[in-house]
Every structure is written in structure tokens, then in C-alpha cells.
Structure 1
């Protein structure tokens, strides 16, 4: 990325609102060139803001660069950021648009001794935040990345909906069939608690008494039919189910039908979400074509990472050239740990920062989890970290392995190299 001379830069701060944006523009010496102007948060307002900034640049020839900062407040700033990053009048000035973390801006504002709280002051604080060089994130990357990002972030939204629905479903299953819900993985009769066979069992048998009173032959035939003969020992499965039904709480008759309807509805919701997930994956793979093909190919070369996770990581990172080193990439992800040290004291418990891009952090950790299953080196590293402690073993080991994965990922992308076992070592 081209180095910017701050002495010849116009710093623009925008306080975003649903209907109105407030704009301030200053130079390196904090002299105002636009002072707390209100403009509509609409297409006409964006064009007006472009003309205002362009007028300043044309009247003051000392400016060669423009840095525009705005707080990342939901989706209200998306249109203005996208417009200013690609508008024609500002293009000759190497315009960079940044969506800033509101928490960082608020902490910076607290460093001023006496500032009022209003939208005009906030726009100045944002401009000044950029002026002192506190921005350490990537600039806005444009419509192509935004298109891919909306798909990958929507995919995360759907996976969260599935997880939330499964949790709600499990609550209702416990109310209807308590022992079935409480059985651990190795004790459970089905490898998939939310599969088709489990769904049929929970929705087609109205009460636990119906299960207990069914003959063994009928239950074995039911399990074989619903599982399409994929369960190797249906007799043992039937025995486990009937034992669980006998040990479950007995409910009033009036509760069984409402619980069954709720359970059936949750299964339908999960099925619909999974169908949408497949459609989103197809759209992601279609959108990523032609978008930074070299880096996409490098990500795909890592065993286990997969095409969808590669696209999602690319959508959030953009170009690796935006990061100075793997530490800056880790900080952008939020996969860093805060040191707690004073004098001779050094805390053993150092929580993860999680102050970075939560979407990128999610996909990096999920990709790492997949790489662990496909790469012996990462599996060995994970096992080593897992054995070092007795609490939070999986979370700690996965987080540390994700940090190791980030170092490797940065190295491959920075050097434009495909993954190989020898190079990774």
C-alpha cells in the first residue's frame, strides 16, 4: 500500500445517523475545512458530500490525499462508505475510507478533557482519530468484496440460527423425553440427535408410554425403515430407546401433543435453514470467481480448509498486502491475548482480546478446526496444547492452534506460495 503523507492529507470524519450524517474535515494541524455540516443520509446527500470535499481539495492545492473515517454503526454507513470509496471526483486523491470500531473512537474521545456530546463533536473526534494515525484496519474495499461479504456473513447468520434452534429444540425434547435428551454422545442411540430417525421417533410416537408398550419387533422395523437400514444394530438401538423411555419423567397427557407440535416445528425450521445454507454456499462459490484468484487458490491448497471457508476468509481479509505482518492480521481477527503483568506478578489467565473482526475470527477458527482433522502437524500441536491444562482445554487448544494457522496463512499469502507439508514446517 502506498505510504500517505499526513501533512498533505485531508481528514474527514462522518458521524452516521439513520437519516442525517454530520461531517467535519480538518488538516494535520486541526484547522477546520468543513465544520460540523449536516447532510442527508441518502444518494443526494452522498453526492453533496462528494462535491463539498472536492471543493476543498480544489481550493487548497496542498492536499494530495483524503482519509475518510466513519463509525461502523450497523448498516447505515454502508452506502456512504461504498459511494465515497469509488466516486470519480475523489479518486485522484488516493481516497481511503475506513469503518471504525465505535469503542475505539469512544475511548479516544475520553482522552479529551472537555468535549460536549453531540453529533458535530463526534464527527471532529473521528477526523482527529484518523489524523493522529490511530487507524489500524483495512480501508473499504468496494462492491465486489461487499457482495461476497454479505453472502459469507449471511451464511454465519444461518449457522447461528441453526445452533439457536437446536438449543431450543433440545429444551422441548427434555420436557417430552428427558432421558433421550440427557444421554451423552457415546450412550446415545443415534449418532445424530437431529437426524431423520430421531425426528421420526420424537414426532410419530406421541408419548413415552407408546414407546415402552411397542413390541421390540415393531420398534426394530420402525428404526430400520426410518434410518434406511443405516443403523448397524437396530435391536440394540431399540433396547436403548425403550430403556430411556421407561426412565424418563411421566407427563400429564395434555402436555404431549403441544410438545410434539413444537418439536416437529423446530425440526422443520432446522431442515429449512440447512436447505438455505446449501443455496448460500452455491452463491458464495459463484461470487468468488474472478475475485483475487491467486489468493483464493492458495487458501484452497491448505488441507481441510474448503472452498466456502476460503471465500469467507478472502471476503474479510481482502488483500494480504493490507497487513504488515502476521501479528497485525491476528490483531485484526481478535485472536490475540491481553497481557496482565505488574512488577513480579504475571497472570496465568490471559483472555482473548476478541476486539477485531468477529466474522473473520469465526471463519479462521472454523477453518482451523477442519485443518486439525486433515493435517497431522496441526493435530499434534492441538493435542499438545490440549494436554497442557486441565480447564478450558478445547477452547484454549483451538485458539492457540488458530494463531499458529494464521502465521502459516499469512506466510503463504505474503509469498504467493501454495501449501506443502515441507513449507508449512
Structure 2
């Protein structure tokens, strides 16, 4: 048996080819991530008259060109979890680290755990696209949160407490559109009561909001008693207008990404099954599918739970058996985040005859705090998800 250890980095990799007992067939050498150089590596691997397996670290996305290209040429490729590989490579006392040393250690890992090596699962292109879009969705959502925090800080300086008056309107854009129109409390005061009330009602009618003269009176009273800390200047007007434009632009980008995720999910058989589950709509369904991927790659429901990082591994030593264990968090943090949002949705809507919601309530009645009960509910949800989707595939 021959182990090919590949230490992957950006744009290039270092390769070491090893046999059992530490016999090195090819000393570490560098290859670029190009078709020509990978073809030469494939020719070298196939030249050996023994079973050969390629081992590399799962580095997020740097390893994907190499793993994909080698797999497409019928080469056995195993992508090892980065944490497991790090712990294996850090056993040396001196802790020397270079690309050449790492490639030797990775090849040694392949020899040591030869019988445990699992061939990289050929993922469906649609699931890959969904996962990619999901990451972009979270990036854009993070930008949106920062933009809204900045906008809130601006409001405290030009229209203090205006969000308290307009926060219960049930319209996501009403506050930003209102601020974009009036910019500063001083502009409202300069209009006077009658003109502002008339203008506000006309604007609300045009935008499709409720006509409410009492709300206009509340805003006017707030403007009269408020103390803005920024002047009603051209610079402030530009800053506020651009902050509103930025929020709307990011929201549009996020909605576009989500719409594409929904279109991709419509091509997947399990999408209808997932959407039929309580409190999972057009927003959460594509995200949970994107993070779980093809559920058929998990050998059982426990593997899916471990992938989410909400399993509690046993701990026993001698006569000691730990009864209280924390979740491992060794898994997909985005899956935990999305699952937690699903649990929040269940608690908010309280669906009847729902096994997951009933399980959360049961855990709460047993004295579990809110987060502990929700994590237990997420564990239950993933088991239900796995069972329903696998049943659907078995029938179709």
C-alpha cells in the first residue's frame, strides 16, 4: 500500500509518497494547481503497481481543485478533518512545521489509519451551489446588521427616538423611507403642523401605509421635544441618505441570493418534504438544505447530529462516568445557527401535534433552561429530518 500525502496551500501543494514503515518513495516536492502538473502527478500515482490512496487535509476550499481533479481520474482521495490532522501532526516534541514536513506527516497519517480512510463523497453540484450561496447569504446578512447598527446610531443624532414611534408599523422599509424623506427633525419643524400632517398622509398613501394623522402628531411632538446632536447640514443629509441606500441595496442583494437558493431547491426532491415541516418556510428551507446537503451521505441520524456539533460524547475513566456533558461544537456552526432559528420559529408559533415543539416543552418542564431545551429540540429535529427525507428517498 502506498500513501500520497498532500499538504495543500493556496495555488500550490507539497506532495510526499510513502510506503509502510516510513519508507519514502518520493521526497516532498511542490506542484501547482494546474491541469498539466496534476496530470503529471496522476501519471506518477498510476505508475505504482500497488494500491495507492491520496490523503489531504480538508482546508475549506483550497483543496477542492486538487481533490476534484484527482477524483475525476479515478484516484482514491480522502479529505481528513482539519482538527484531526492538526492533532496528529502536533505529536512531535519539537513541533517543527514546514510544508515538506507536513506532507510527510500527512502521508504517515494515511499509512497509520489506512483502514479508516474514507473516499471523498462525490457531492451533487446543486448542493455545492446551495452551500456556496448560503455562505454569501450569511456574509451579506452580516453586512446588513452592521449597516443597520450604523443607521440606528445616525438616528439617535438626527431623529432621537423616532424608531420607537415607527417600530410597530409592521413594515420593514417604513422607518428607512421616512428618514430618507425627512432626514432631520428640523425639516419637520420648518414645515409646520398642517403642512407636515398633510405631507405625511400623502406620503403614507402613496407608499401603501395606513393613513394616521395621530401618528403624524406623535412624530411632530417628538420633533418638538427631541434634541438632535447633529446639525441639519448638507453633510448630514448625504450621510443619512447613503445609509438608507446602503440598507436597501444590501437587502436587495440578500433577497436575490435567497431567491436563487429557492430556485435551486425546487430542483431537489426533498424540498417539498422539508417545506411541509412546521415553521419552515421559503427562507429557512433552502438554508437548512444548504447546510445539511445530501442527507444520504450520512450513514445514520447520529452522524448528522455529530455533523451539526450538538452531540455530547461520553466521558468515562475508571469508576467515573460523567452524567452532564456539553455539546461538542465540532461541526457545522452554520447548521447550528439555522437550526436554532428553526427552534425559535417553533416556540413563537407553537404548532399543535408537533413532535419537536412538544419535546422542547417536555425538556422545559424537566427544568432545562431555554437554550438547553432548544438544543435538545434541535437534536430531535435533525432526527426527524433525517427520517423523513430518507423515507422519501426510499419510496422514490
TM-score if structure 1 supplies the norm length? 0.75
Contact 1:334/1:353 (CA < 8 Å) preserved in 2? yes
Change in 2 beyond 3 A, CA 1:19/1:190: closer
Partners of 2:316 and 2:80 lie apart in 1 by 32
CA distance, structure 2, for counterparts of residue 18 and residue 118 of structure 1: 15
Shift of 1:129: 4.0
Classify 1:310/1:48 alpha carbon distance in 2 versus 1 (closer, same or farther; 3 Å).
farther
- Between 1:353-362 and 1:191-200, the stretch displaced more is 191-200
Once the two structures are superposed, what CA deviation does each residue of 1:27-55 show, in whole Å capped at 9, x if it has no partner? 56554344422111223222222222222
Mapped to 1, the partners of 2:40 and 2:287 lie a distance apart of 34
For the residue of structure 1 that corresponds to 2:330, the secondary structure is coil
Query: Does structure 2 retain, via aligned residues, the 8 Å contact 1:200–1:226?
Result: no
Query: Does the 8 Å contact 2:278/2:351 carry over to 1?
Result: yes
Structure 1 residues 314-370: Cα deviation after superposition (integer angstroms, max 9, x where no partner) = 44434333323323212212234578999989797x765433123333333344444
Q: Does 1:172 align with 2:154?
A: yes
Equivalents in 1 of 2:172, 2:199: separation in Å?
15
Contact preservation (8 Å) 1:303, 1:374: no
8 Å contact 2:78–2:118 — kept in the other structure?
no
Write out aligned runs for 1:212-227 (5 A): 212=189, 214-227=191-204
Distance in 1 of aligned mates of 2:136 and 2:189: 43
Residue equivalent to 1:305: 280
Q: Who is 1:16 aligned against?
A: 8
Deviation at 1:387, TM superposition (A): 7.7
d(CA) in 1 for partners of 2:336, 2:129: 19
Mapped partners of 1:341, 1:214: distance in 2? 74
In structure 2, the CA distance between the partners of 1:267 and 1:97, relative to structure 1 (3 Å rule), is farther
Deviation of 1:134 after TM superposition, in Å, equals 7.4
- Give the aligned partner of residue 123 of structure 2: 141
The residue aligned with 1:47 is 39
Q: Is the 8 Å Cα contact of residues 68 and 98 (structure 1) preserved in structure 2? A: yes
The corresponding residue for 1:3 is none
Quote the Cα distance in structure 1 between the aligned partners of 2:150 and 2:170: 13
Per-residue Cα deviation, 1:382-404 (whole angstroms, up to 9, x for no partner): 4566687798x4x5554332222
Deviation sequence 1:147-172 (CA, Å, 0-9, x none): 33322322232222222222222222
Residue correspondence of structure 1 range 71-150 to structure 2 within 5 A: 71-73=58-60, 75-87=61-73, 89-90=74-75, 95-98=76-79, 100-101=81-82, 103-130=83-110, 131-132=112-113, 139=121, 141=123, 143-150=125-132
Residue number in structure 2 paired with 1:234: 212
Corresponding residue number in structure 1 for 2:174: 197
Of 262-271 and 136-145, more deviation after overlay is shown by 136-145
Structure 2 residue 381 is matched with structure 1 residue 405:
yes
- How many residues align? The count is 387
Contact 2:311 2:328 in 1 (8 A): yes
State the shift of 1:300 in Å: 3.1
* Distance change (3 Å), C-alpha of 1:345 and 1:51: closer
Corresponding residue for residue 422 of structure 1: none
| In structure 1, C-alpha distance between the alignment counterparts of 2:308 and 2:195, rounded to whole Å | 54
Secondary structure of 2:166's aligned partner: coil
**Structure 2: which 5+ residue stretches go unaligned?**
none
Q: Within 2, Cα distance between the matches of 1:246 and 1:359? A: 46
Could you list the runs of 5+ residues in structure 1 that have no partner in the other structure?
A: 1-7, 419-425
Indicate how the Cα distance of structure 1 residues 214 and 356 shifts in structure 2: closer, same or farther if over 3 A, else same. Answer: same
Is the counterpart of residue 253 in structure 1 residue 235 in structure 2? no
| 1:160 is aligned to 2:142 | yes
Distance 1:337 1:224 in 2: 57
CA distance in 2, matches of 1:129, 1:242: 71
Report the alpha carbon displacement of residue 417 of structure 1 after superposing the two structures with TM: 7.2
Comparing 353-362 with 35-44, which one deviates more in the overlay? 353-362
SS in 2 for 1:408: helix
Moved more, 136-145 or 280-289: 136-145
Call closer, same or farther: CA 1:196–1:111 in 2, change over 3 Å.
same
Contact 1:85–1:97, Cα closer than 8 Å, also in 2: no
Q: Secondary structure of the residue that 1:281 maps to in structure 2?
A: helix
C-alpha contact (below 8 Å) 2:19/2:25 kept by paired residues: yes
In terms of mean alpha carbon deviation, does 367-376 or 272-281 score higher?
367-376
2:77/2:119 contact within 8 Å kept: no
Cα deviations by residue, 1:254-291 (Å, 9 ceiling, x for unpaired): 6x54343223212212222222233323433443455x
- 1:7-64 Cα shifts (integer Å, max 9, x gaps): x6x44332122232101244565543444221112232222222222223xx22xx2x
Cα distance in 1 for residues equivalent to 2:166 and 2:143: 26
In 2, the alpha carbon distance for the partners of 1:387 and 1:336 equals: 22
